[in-house]
Amino acid sequence: MRKRNLILFVLLIVLAVGILAGTLFGVLKRRQGTPFNPLPELKIEVVYATEEGAWLRAAVERFNQEKHVLNGQRVVVEITPMDSGEALTQIKDGRIHPTAWSPASMLWVNALNDVWRAEHATDLVMRVGQYQATPLVLSPMVFVMWKDRADVFTSFFPGREVDWDTIQEAVAAAEGWKTLRGDPNWGHVKFGQTDPILSNSGLVAATLATYDYLDKTRGLTTADIMDSDYRKWMSSLWGSVVGGYDRTSADLMNHMILYGPSTYDVIMVYENLAASQLKNARGRWASDLYISYPRLNLWNDHPFCVLLADWSSADQKDAALQFQRFLLGEESQQQALHYGFRPANVDVPVINDDPENPFNQYQDLGLQVKIPRINLVEVPSAEVILELQVFFNQQQR
C-alpha cells in the first residue's frame, strides 16, 4: 500500500470513529443531563422557614455542586420553603416527609414534639445527642423606625428607649406626631407587625409586648391574657395598625420600604430582615431606617432538626448531618452575614472585612454588633399562645 493511501485510510477511520464517539457522547449527555457519573444519588429533603430562603438556596447550590459523598452515594439536597406553623401541621399529618426541618425558632421544635408525642409516644426531634436540634444562624427581634421619626420620638421620651411602653403611649397620642412635637403632617403614629396566627414573628411580637406590659420574663398565664387592663392596652397598640397584618415578616419589611412612613412608622421584625433591607431603604424616602432593640427578646435560632422518622433511611439522616456541618462551616456562616443573620458558629465573628456585611456598614443606623441589653423571655405554653391568638382574632373586624 502506498504511504499516501495508508494515511488517507487512517484519517478516514479516525474521522469515522470520531463521529461515532461524538454521537454516543451526545446521546449519553442528553439522557443524563450531566457528564456520566457512576455514583448513585442519595436525596434528602429539607423543609425550611421562609426567612432563611436566600441564604439557604445559595448554600444548597454550593453543596450540591461540591458533590459530597456518603457510603458510595452522592448526596443531593432538595429544599422546600414553608412557614413554620404550616410545616408543623403538615409533618404531623403525614402530608410531607422531609429528612430535616429548619423552623424559625426552637419554639416550633417543642411544639412539634408535643403534638408528635401525643400520637407516637416519642419525640421526633432530639434535644441531645448526635441528632440534636442545632441552631444554624441567630436573629433577635428588633424595632425598625424611620430615623427622622425616631429622633422626634426619643426627644419626646427623654431617658427612655423605643420600646413597647413608649410605642404604646405614642400610638395612643390624640394628635399623633403633633402631640410628640413632630411634624403634624405625619399623622398618627402607626405600628406594624405580622399576623400572630399565621406568622412566627407576629406571635413573638405579641408575646414580647405582653411580657413587657406585665413586666415579667416568664410564667405567662391565660389569666394574664384575659386581664381587661392588658386587653385595653394591647387593643390600643393593634388599633394603630393601618397597613394590615402581613403573613410573613419578609412581606412586612418589604411593605415598610414600599409604602414608607405613610403606612408604617415603627414595626417589629427579625433583625436579619431589617439589616439586609437597610440598603433598599436608603434614599427611597426622606429618611433612613433606624433599628432599636427591645428590653425583652427571643432569639430566632433557626435550628436544623434531623427528624427521627421511619420515612428516612439511616444514610439519609447521616447525609442531613453532613449538610448541617456544611451550613455551620466557616464559608456558609460568613455568607449568612450578607443576609443579616448572626453566625451560630462562634468561631465566625459578626464583624469582618467583607463590604457586603451589613454589620460592618450600618452601625450608624442602630445595627449593633453586641446587643446592648437582652433579657430572654420564656416561651409561653401552647395554651397561652392559643389564648393570645384568640384575643387577636377578636380584635379584628
Residue choice 157, 230, 233, 259 for contact with other proteins (CB under 8 A):
259
Q: DSSP per residue over 282-324, as a string? A: TTTSSS-EEEE--SEE--B--EEEE---TTS-HHHHHHHHHHH
Q: With CA atoms as reference, report the closest residue to 140 among 332, 334, 374.
A: 374
| Angstrom distance (rounded) from CA 323 to CA 46 | 10
| Binding-residue pattern over the window 190 to 219 for other proteins, x denoting contact by CB under 8 A | x-----------------------------
Write down the least CB distance from residue 70 to other proteins, Å.
Answer: 33
Write down the least CB distance from residue 267 to other proteins, Å.
Answer: 14
Residue pair 201/246 in contact (Cβ under 8 Å)? The answer is: no
Residue choice 34, 130, 185, 394 for contact with other proteins (CB under 8 A):
185
Residue choice 153, 186, 270, 323 for contact with other proteins (CB under 8 A):
186
Where are the extended beta strands (E) located within 4-72? Answer: 41-48, 69-70
| Angstrom distance (rounded) from CA 90 to CA 96 | 6
Residue pair 324/134 in contact (Cβ under 8 Å)? The answer is: yes
* All cell numbers assigned to 315: 444514610
| Binding-residue pattern over the window 233 to 252 for other proteins, x denoting contact by CB under 8 A | ------x--x-x--x-----
Where are the extended beta strands (E) located within 68-188? Answer: 69-70, 73-81, 100-102, 134-135, 137-138, 141-146
Residue choice 13, 226, 351, 371 for contact with other proteins (CB under 8 A):
13
How many chain residues interact with other proteins (CB under 8 A)?
44
Q: With CA atoms as reference, report the closest residue to 213 among 228, 200, 202.
A: 228
Write down the least CB distance from residue 14 to other proteins, Å.
Answer: 11
Write down the least CB distance from residue 388 to other proteins, Å.
Answer: 23
Residue pair 350/191 in contact (Cβ under 8 Å)? The answer is: no
14 binds other proteins (CB under 8 A): no
80 binds other proteins (CB under 8 A): no
* All cell numbers assigned to 291: 433599628
* All cell numbers assigned to 167: 410605642
Amino acid at 365: L
Write down the least CB distance from residue 143 to other proteins, Å.
Answer: 19
Look at the block and give the residue holding cell 412635637. Answer: 181
Residue choice 32, 37, 280, 395 for contact with other proteins (CB under 8 A):
280
Judged by beta carbon, residue 72 or residue 239, the one nearer other proteins is 239
User: Of the listed pieces 14-22, 33-41, 107-115, 324-332, which binds other proteins according to CB under 8 A?
Assistant: 14-22
Judged by beta carbon, residue 185 or residue 228, the one nearer other proteins is 185
* All cell numbers assigned to 132: 440534636
Judged by beta carbon, residue 375 or residue 396, the one nearer other proteins is 396
What are the residues facing 81 on neighbouring strands? 48
172 binds other proteins (CB under 8 A): no
Report the b/e string of 263-300 with b at 16+ CB within 10 A: bbbbbbbbbbbbbbbbeebeeebebbbbbbbbbbbbbb
Quick one: CA torsion of 281, 80, 46, 139, rounded to 10 degrees? Answer: 20
Judged by beta carbon, residue 16 or residue 369, the one nearer other proteins is 16
23 binds other proteins (CB under 8 A): yes
Residue choice 33, 40, 129, 283 for contact with other proteins (CB under 8 A):
283
Judged by beta carbon, residue 247 or residue 295, the one nearer other proteins is 247
15 binds other proteins (CB under 8 A): yes
- Using CB under 8 A as the criterion, which residues of the chain lie in contact with other proteins when the complex forms? 1-2, 5, 8-9, 12-13, 15-17, 19-20, 22-23, 26-27, 30, 183, 185-188, 190, 239, 242, 244, 247, 254-255, 257-263, 277, 280-281, 283-286, 397
